[in-house]
Structure formats: structure tokens, C-alpha cells
Amino acid sequence: MLASLAPRSDFPLLAANPGMHYLDSAATSQKPAAVLNAIHEFYATANANPHRGAYALSARATDLYHDARATVARFVGVADSDCVVFTRGTTEAMNLVASSWGRANVQAGDEIVVTALEHHANFVPWQQLAIATGATLRIVELTPQQTIDLEQLRAVVTTRTKLVAITHVSNAVGAITPLAEVVHLVRARSAAVIVVDGAQAVPHLPVPFDALGIDFYAFSGHKLLAPMGIGCLIGRRALLESMPPYQFGGDMIEWVRDTECTWNVIPHKFEAGTPNAADAVGLAAAIRYLEALGMANVRAHEVALLERAEERVRALPGVTVYGPPPAQRSGVLSFSLADVHPHDLATILDQHGVCIRAGHHCAQPLMRRLGVSATARASFYVYNDERDVDALVGALEAAQRIFAAD
Ligand code: C6P
């Protein structure tokens, strides 16, 4: 019996629901008490508006916010913590780059490269930027195992390419992109800026931003045990410094004159308004929790669970599993069951206490290429164990019996 990596008792929601098999961590993860307590502690002992007060309480809030940024920088391999911009999540980070860097640098005749594997958050901002600027959107197709076709990428990237937007890990099928190869290939052909969607990677894999040599990287806290509403854009200093602000208001200015403004330094230039300091502190607590587990252990645990789940799910009649083999995926098992609509399947599984996501997973370009409108997706994380796999398989068998009787 494969035990969970993190004790279920660390997670109040799971502890309160012993019969629940939560297999939807790719949508959002459950939160350990350590994270909930850190947020409570911020409001109970340090609540003041960061960067605004001359009094000690405000200085404490500012310090905690600053420490949270330093913790993120350490976790994702960024030496210069000023290059970490807090956002609401991956979606806002991508929109920031598209609106700020994109509007300032992309024009008619340029090309923007995306892939057919992208979540809408890393597809629609670039599609809309292309429409607004007259640039051409080029879409890299996939291999039969739903990984990015690197030969296609090689063919599509040229000196006209201004930006390449690519996912580190697919949310819909879990495929991991070999980023080092992508960077090598893009750099050899163009001066394009490389933007990476790390929403499904940072919770599961060690991510060394500086060593990867990419330009922008985005992720969401809520998928790595942290609260919703906090995430990050990481960028190279020179790029961030060259970019115009994305939103205007408090904290992002240096001087405001009647007819013009000058801007604060990075990262503040991109953090207009009162920051989400409490959730940044929660994100730092989540990172410390994951660091204590060890990211190599997190990865090994997920692969072990995924291999067991996949072997047993594949053995069921009428099952199609999407994506490459488990060793090339994060903790995602995306599948369909003969003629059963994934939404019906998810509803039956819910009656057995098994929570999975069914739908297009905000990846409609991929679904179109798969020739389906939706898939069922089970996703594993540190609190899952083999009993969750047993429950998933048992519930799928029950669903098959119901549909066979119809
Ligand atoms: N994917 C899923 O169930 P936000 O909503 O900004 O935190 O993250 C958006 C996002 C961007 N990229 C990838 C690869 C993602 O997986 C997500 C969020 C969830 O797959 C909700 S649609």
C-alpha cells in the first residue's frame, strides 16, 4: 500500500472528510493547517498596509511581504528577488506580459508562436495581442502522444518570431515540456522572448528559473497548497525594467505631477494598489511545507501513484488514456470511457466520494485536436495515497456497471 507523502491529518478539509478522495489538485490543491495558520497569524499579529505606514506594525507587514517574495525567489531558482512580481495568479501574469511587453514590442508583420497544448490563459492573451497588433499567431502542433512537436517548433520559429509562449506542463494531459531543448532551439533561430506557463509545473517539479535561461515564467499559488488569489510573474530584470506599467495607482509610482508620472522600481512598478500580503505570506508557508517534503520526493510520489492508477485504469474495458507515459507526465491522468460523457462519469464518481474534473480543462484547442469535447481528469498530489487509486478504480467499475445496464 503506497502511503501519502504528506499526512492527511495536516489538511483540515481532508481530515474532516475521511471518505473523500480528492483527485482534482490540478484544478486547485487542498491547504495544510500550516498555510491557514500563517494567513490567520498575519491578520492577527501583523495586519497593516505594507509600504505605507511609518509605524512598527506597518514595517512588520512590509517585512513579511518582502520575506514572502524572497521565499518564492529561492524556491524557483531566482537570485534577484526583485524579479518576482506578485500577481493574482498565472492568468494575470500572462495578461501582464501581453499587455505591457506585448503592446510595446509586437507589431504587424511579427509572429507570435504558441502551442496547441496551452491552457486558455497562455493562448487567448497571445491570440488577442496578434489581433490587436496585426501580428500572425503561429500554432505548434502536437505528437500523437500530445507532447509538443519539437520538429514543428523548429520549423515555425524564425527571425520573424517575437515571442514564444509555451507551457511547462499541460493541465489537460500532464505532458512535461523539455524546456532546456525548447530554449536551445528558440535561441538558435530567433531573438524571441520565451514566456513559460508554470501553473502545473511549480507544484510538482523543481524549477530553476535562472538556469533555464527563459525570459518570463508564471505560476499560481493555489495549485501548490497556497491560497487562491496569489501567484507570480518572474521575469528577467532588463525586460521588466524596460516594460511600461500594466496598471496604475498607488505604490507603483515614483512621482506624480499634474501632467505626467515617473514609475517605481521593479517589482513595485507592476504591483499597483494594496498588495495581497496575507496570501503572499500563505504562499511562503506553502513553499516551506513543500520544501520540508522535498520536491524530488513530491515528484517520485506522484509518478508512483500515477503508474499504479494508469495500469489499473487502462485495464478497464473501453478506456482511452491521453498523454505520454507517466514518467513524462505530472500527476495527471486524463481519460475517457467508451461512450460515457465525462460529466456523467464525474457525477457518478462523486457519489462514491471521488472528486475528479471533467470538461475541456480550459484547453479547447487541444480538445479539438483530440476530437473530443471533454475528458475526465484525475490528478494526484502529496496527500493522495493508494486508497485514492482504489476508490477511483472501484468507482469507474461501478460506473461501467451502470452504463452497461442502461
Ligand atoms: N488550470 C485546471 O483545472 P489561474 O486560474 O490563473 O490560477 O491558472 C490558470 C492556468 C494557467 N495555466 C495552466 C497550465 C493551468 O492549469 C491553469 C489553471 C485549472 O486545469 C483551472 S482551469
Predicted confidence (pLDDT) per residue in 48-93, tens digit: 999 877 899 999 999 999 999 999 999 999 999 999 999 999 999 9
Query: Residue 54 has what pLDDT?
Result: 87
Tell me which residue has cell 484547442: 365
Minimum CA distance residue for ligand 1 atom 2: 27
Query: Residue 360 has what pLDDT?
Result: 96
| Ligand 1 atom at shortest distance from the alpha carbon of 362 | 22
CATH of 35-291 among 3.40.640.10, 3.50.50.60, 3.40.50.2300, 3.40.50.10490: 3.40.640.10
Domain(s) of CATH 3.90.1150.10: residues in the chain: 8-23+294-405
Predicted confidence (pLDDT) per residue in 215-246, tens digit: 999 999 999 999 999 999 999 999 999 999 99
CATH of 8-23+294-405 among 3.90.1150.10, 3.30.530.20, 3.50.50.60, 3.40.50.720: 3.90.1150.10
Active-site residue, 362 included:
yes
Ligand 1 centroid, distance to 254 Cα (angstroms): 34
Read off the pTM.
Answer: 0.97
Lining residues, ligand 1, CB within 6 Å: 26-27, 89-91, 119, 121-122, 167, 171, 197, 199-200, 220, 357, 361-362
Ligand 1 centroid, distance to 198 Cα (angstroms): 10
To test the pocket of ligand 1, the residue of 146, 220, 330 to mutate (highest count of ligand atoms within 8 Å of its CB) is: 220
pLDDT along the chain (406 residues), means of 10: 97 98 98 98 97 90 98 98 98 98 98 98 98 98 97 98 98 98 98 98 97 98 98 98 97 96 98 98 98 98 97 96 95 93 96 97 97 96 98 96 80
Ligand 1 centroid, distance to 247 Cα (angstroms): 22
